[in-house]
């Protein structure tokens, strides 16, 4: 196996579109936030930036 193939195999399954959809639904609906926090934590997001956004949204929701 080449180095390029090893890099491909080391990528965890993820969906950028799904992460953005979750964040978008949280912006649109307070109910979506209350349901989402039951299932996800910031560490569940593949993209660090999306996890940080999620974390900030949770902090704002608590206020």
Structural contact between residues 17 and 7, judged by C-beta atoms closer than 8 angstroms: no
Nearest to 60 by CA among 19, 20, 23: 23
Condensed to tens digits (0 to 9), the pLDDT of residues 27-52 reads 999 999 999 999 999 999 999 999 99
Phi, psi of 38 (to 5 degrees): -75, -20
Distance CA 8, CA 3 (A): 9
Report the C-alpha gap between 22 and 40 in whole angstroms.
Answer: 10
pTM of the predicted model, to two decimals? 0.78
6 has a pLDDT exceeding 80: no
Q: pLDDT value at position 10? A: 79
């Amino acid at each position: 196996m080449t180095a390029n193939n090893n890099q491909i195999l080391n990528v965890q399954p993820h969906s950028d579109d799904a992460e953005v959809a979750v964040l978008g639904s949280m912006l649109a609906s307070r109910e979506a936030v209350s349901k989402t926090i039951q299932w996800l934590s910031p560490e569940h997001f593949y993209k660090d930036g999306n996890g940080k956004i999620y974390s900030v949204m949770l902090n704002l929701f608590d206020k």
